[in-house]
Structure 1
Amino acid sequence: MYRFLTLLFVVLSVRSFSQNPNPKPRVIISTDIGGTDPDDNQSMAHLLMYTDKFEIEGLVSSPSYGTGSKAEIFRMIDLYEKDLPKLERHGNGFAKPADLRRVTKQGRRGAAPFSGITSPTEGSKWIIKAAKKKDQRPLWILVWGGLEDLAQALHDAPEIQQNIRVYWIGGPNKKWSANAYAHIASNHPDLWMIEVNSSYYGFFSDNQAPDVIQTSNYYEKYIQGAGHLGADFKSYYDGDVKMGDTPSLLYLMHGNPDDPEGESWGGSFEPIQRSARVVYDRATSVGDSVAFCATVEFRFTGPKIKVPADSAVFWMEVPYQNSSQVWPGYYLGDGSYALQYAPKQAETLSFNFTSPIEGFPASKGQLTVTNLWPGKANSTDFQLGENWYSDRSNPELYYGKLQGGKTIQKWRDEVLLNWAERWAWLKEE
């Protein structure tokens, strides 16, 4: 009997392994879809066409800036549902639309205050629930926008840190989400995190400037006429492929996700032991320099006022293109004021500090932003643990001006041709 049971166990184990030798990665997407940058819609189309490659446990709307909501995720799922029969002709395992709708949750709307946290949201509570599920596989949280819901989840249930892995598209998202980022880096330095501030640009950008999309005829050649998702794709950048958040998916699709330093479609990264943070108690000048994507903290002493701590009471205005962007600063109490900002690219930054509060030290300033992250060490840097990774600093891996860009740019054609096969499925009668 003992020999029989042992043999049965071996047979069942082998059968189980042969049926699922490479378990799908568990994934939660945190996205600012529907906000100011429609590239999230393009990345969502890509995800939906590859749901057979992932176990999707959450789709969280986390717009730290803009007007995005889970309604836009539902709209994309509706398009996917119409195209699903054609996808299913070519394989099993595609997610059921009803299951995707069930795990779609609303996260925080708007950036967190200086503390980096506020109160739980449907999205942050869902992250905690999924992270506590008993499963030998880690829960991958792919962040396409702000970190607010992740920061809230870690604050409310810090024990989930050991069960999750994060791949975050930073860069400009870090600018919008500087307070939530600072909360995570200072309170959860041992988080398993891939912080991608520039490599992802290699997937879509002109190599001299971030956010300048390489134009091509990819839409006309492969997408045009390809189902409902294909028709919708034309609505974003006139069909030019940006998909700046897609490298987070690609990282799990090709390569060994357990090895951030290895090669993968989603890039190759190096460990960093510190995250650049510089604190000033004054307005700066061009003689002051910081790394791009550094956390720049301005602190001022001003009048004592009677408002709740963490109230937005002053603003930093930064010229941007033909307009300007305005960032809130906060009252910390006892006459102390502070603001955190993360410049997304190398430049000479100009700004104004203003406030309606009489006696606030309004001022103008400039700052030189350098093109190497995390750059020179500062005594005020966030000190990180052993599992925090970021863009490779080797000059040979810069794609033009984009640090680490070649680690993703080299795979672009292969990725797009792989995707083209699936667009062809949607063109079938």
Structure 2
Amino acid sequence: MKKLLLIVLPFLTLNTFGYTPQDKNELKPRIVILTDVSTWETDDSESLVRLMVYADRFEIEGLIFTTGWSLSETRDDFLQLIHNAIDAYEKDLPHLMKRSGQSGFLEDESRQLLGYWPSPDYLRQRTMTGSRKRGMEFIGKENVSEGSNWIIKQADEIDDRPLWILVWGGGNTLGQAIWQVQQDRPEKELKAFLHKIPTYAITDQDRS
């Protein structure tokens, strides 16, 4: 197996992307979240709430449930915790939309401008599970998941913006996506894929 490349960048803030509240005609930065949200570690649930409050600043392309430091296998009931955050977002959305005077949602919610609040259905359609088991040793043909396929699909979209991968939990869903591209594409296309997905990982939660 070729060595997987993970580009680790400094902590991402709004200023990292170079946007200010005045950039109303700018497209949002694209992000995919890998989260090991659980009932016994509440940090990711709290982070999801904070993310929803700033959903007008990011084009959230994926909310992928993964393994993590204290979660060796994913659990279907924990995926619901992401949906709980989206449900709470839906309740507060009428108030949040007052910030930008938004009164409805676009039929096509791709290529969102800063200040646009995505619909709850848009977020639900992008919520899924990644690798079921934790660790580098599981990466391979038996580890393909909806999450790894989704990362590839989003990175392949015709869009000049990078697809920021924010790893709150384990990273082997991303590692799996890279492995799949390695198997199917020549070296030049692999490099182009890696160039498209700058990544910030909080810590090495599953050694991938």
How does the TM-score come out when normalised to structure 2?
Answer: 0.70
| Secondary structure of 1:51's aligned partner | coil
Counterpart position of 2:81: 72
Q: What is the one-letter code of the residue matched to 1:166? A: T
| The structure with more helix, counted as a fraction of residues | 2
Counterpart position of 1:162: 195
Task: Find the aligned partners of 1:19 and 1:47 in 2 and give their Cα distance.
Answer: 19
Shift of 1:36: 3.8
| Structural RMSD (CA) | 1.9
1:62/1:136 CA distance change after superposition, 3 Å: same
Shift of 1:114: 3.0
Q: Deviations over 1:329-371 (max 9, x none)?
A: xxxxxxxxxxxxxxxxxxxxxxxxxxxxxxxxxxxxxxxxxxx
Counterpart position of 1:177: 206
Task: Find the aligned partners of 2:164 and 2:145 in 1 and give their Cα distance.
Answer: 19
Given that 2:65 and 2:129 are in contact with CA atoms closer than 8 Å, whether structure 1 keeps it comes out as: yes
Shift of 1:95: 1.4
| The structure with more strand, counted as a fraction of residues | 1
Q: Which has the larger radius of gyration?
A: 1
Q: What is the one-letter code of the residue matched to 1:28? A: V
Given that 2:166 and 2:199 are in contact with CA atoms closer than 8 Å, whether structure 1 keeps it comes out as: yes
Given that 2:165 and 2:198 are in contact with CA atoms closer than 8 Å, whether structure 1 keeps it comes out as: yes
Q: What is the one-letter code of the residue matched to 2:165? A: I
Task: Find the aligned partners of 1:19 and 1:35 in 2 and give their Cα distance.
Answer: 37
Moved over 4 A (4+): 115-118
Counterpart position of 1:98: 121
Task: Find the aligned partners of 1:99 and 1:83 in 2 and give their Cα distance.
Answer: 16
Task: Find the aligned partners of 1:36 and 1:135 in 2 and give their Cα distance.
Answer: 38
Task: Find the aligned partners of 2:195 and 2:39 in 1 and give their Cα distance.
Answer: 31
Matches within 5 A, 1:191-210: none
Aligned residues: 157
Task: Find the aligned partners of 2:49 and 2:180 in 1 and give their Cα distance.
Answer: 32
Shift of 1:162: 2.1
Counterpart position of 2:176: 152
1:109/1:36 CA distance change after superposition, 3 Å: farther
| Secondary structure of 2:164's aligned partner | strand
Matches within 5 A, 1:13-24: 20=25, 22-24=26-28
Task: Find the aligned partners of 1:114 and 1:123 in 2 and give their Cα distance.
Answer: 18
1:132/1:61 CA distance change after superposition, 3 Å: same
Are 2:38 and 1:38 aligned? no
Counterpart position of 1:25: 29
Shift of 1:102: 0.5
Q: Deviations over 1:8-46 (max 9, x none)?
A: xxxxxxxxxx862x3210111110112542100000000
Q: Deviations over 1:269-318 (max 9, x none)?
A: xxxxxxxxxxxxxxxxxxxxxxxxxxxxxxxxxxxxxxxxxxxxxxxxxx
Shift of 1:120: 0.6
Q: What is the one-letter code of the residue matched to 2:158? A: K
Matches within 5 A, 1:271-350: none
Q: What is the one-letter code of the residue matched to 1:129? A: K
- Is there any run of 5+ residues in structure 1 with no aligned partner, and where? 1-17, 181-429
Percent identical among aligned pairs is: 39
| Secondary structure of 1:140's aligned partner | strand
Q: Deviations over 1:100-156 (max 9, x none)?
A: 001111112331353644521111110010010010111001110001100000000
Task: Find the aligned partners of 1:61 and 1:51 in 2 and give their Cα distance.
Answer: 18
Task: Find the aligned partners of 2:39 and 2:169 in 1 and give their Cα distance.
Answer: 10
Task: Find the aligned partners of 1:146 and 1:19 in 2 and give their Cα distance.
Answer: 34
Counterpart position of 1:325: none
Task: Find the aligned partners of 2:131 and 2:157 in 1 and give their Cα distance.
Answer: 23
Given that 1:35 and 1:63 are in contact with CA atoms closer than 8 Å, whether structure 2 keeps it comes out as: no
Task: Find the aligned partners of 1:35 and 1:134 in 2 and give their Cα distance.
Answer: 37
- Between 1 and 2, higher relative CO (CA 8 Å, sep ≥ 6) is seen in 2
Task: Find the aligned partners of 1:46 and 1:29 in 2 and give their Cα distance.
Answer: 13
Task: Find the aligned partners of 1:35 and 1:177 in 2 and give their Cα distance.
Answer: 19
- Is there any run of 5+ residues in structure 2 with no aligned partner, and where? 1-22, 103-115, 183-189
Counterpart position of 1:81: 90
